Chains A and B, each alone.
Chain A
């Protein structure tokens, strides 16, 4: 089955700085790569996704890049704000990474 590794496990950034989370996957057949944000007491919510026929996608302050040859993809959050503090998960097919706890310091 698919194996997804996610780094770092925790990330602390100053408000206004950028945050980058990286993931690798093992199954070259995977073609859909979503990112989810989970806040305390809630289920994960989709924030952005990318398909294998696209190398980069951007939505306001959030962007995702995909390198299918190297089997890795990354989430970039620019101009971080306190409300960006949460746990972020990458996924490939039905498999999720272990999560990154992002803390934005005011």
Chain B
């Protein structure tokens, strides 16, 4: 069983740039959720994708967008980067939508915005 993998592991961007983060879900999982984890804080829900459609969104602006592909892998795109976007971005796959089953997390992408 292949776990959740995220790429890249680390990334440094400049304010105003755009970034794309990638995630491969665990085999058999059709739901992917993205979280932002600032240093010393809990993960904050960005959005969830189920069968290629957005299925719930947290309190994040539209410059945070995503995609899910037919193989259930996913991308998180962030436009017009701000300094406060610096965080660990976590991807998690699951069997069910909307927080009804365990989340299987990858090890995250550490994004630094300068």
- Taking Cβ atoms with an 8 Å cutoff, the residues of A that contact B are 1, 4, 6, 30-32, 34, 36, 41-46, 49, 89, 91-99
Contacts and interface: CB of A to CB of B under 8 A. Distances in A.
Nearest to B41: A98
Contact of B107 (A1, A6, A41, A91): A41
Contact of A94 (B98, B105, B106): B98
Contact of B99 (A44, A93, A98): A93
B99 A32 contact: yes
A43 B107 contact: yes
B102 A94 contact: no
Interface stretch (B42-50, B63-71, B74-82): B42-50
B87 interface: no
A44 B106 CA distance: 8
B100 interface: yes
